[in-house]
Amino acid sequence: MTIIHNEGQDPIIQIANEFTVIQVSYTSTGQRERLLVSSPRLGFQTLLDPLQLESLTWQPPEMYSKLLDTPYGPGTELNARPLSALLGKD
C-alpha cells in the first residue's frame, strides 16, 4: 500500500498486486461524501456513497468471483475458440 500526497488535495491510497493497481480517495460533492475508487491502468472509476459501501459487506465471496468473469471490465468478453477449431480439426 502506498499513500500518494497531492499538494492541496486529499491523499490517495494506492493498493497493488501482480494483477492490478487500484486507487481510493475521498471526495465531497456538495453535501454528499463519496469514496472514489479508480483503476488507473484500465481507466475505470466509480463513486460510492456510504450505503453502497456498506452493501459490499453484505455480499458473499461468490459475488466477487462473478465480477471477475470479465477481469478487464465491461466489453471484454473473451471470444475463445478451441484449438481444434483453429487447426481445422474436430
Query: Would you place residue 29 in the very low, low, confident or very high pLDDT band (cuts 50, 70, 90)?
Result: confident
The answer to whether residues 64 and 56 touch, using CB atoms and an 8 Å cutoff, is no
Cell of residue 59, nine digits: 455480499
Tens of pLDDT, residue by residue over 2-20, are 988 888 888 899 999 998 8
Q: How far apart are CA 46 and CA 38, in angstroms?
A: 6
**Calpha distance 57→54 (Å, rounded):** 5
Q: Spell out the domain ranges in the chain.
A: 2-71
CA distance 8 to 27: 13
DSSP code for 19:
S
- The pTM of this model reads 0.70
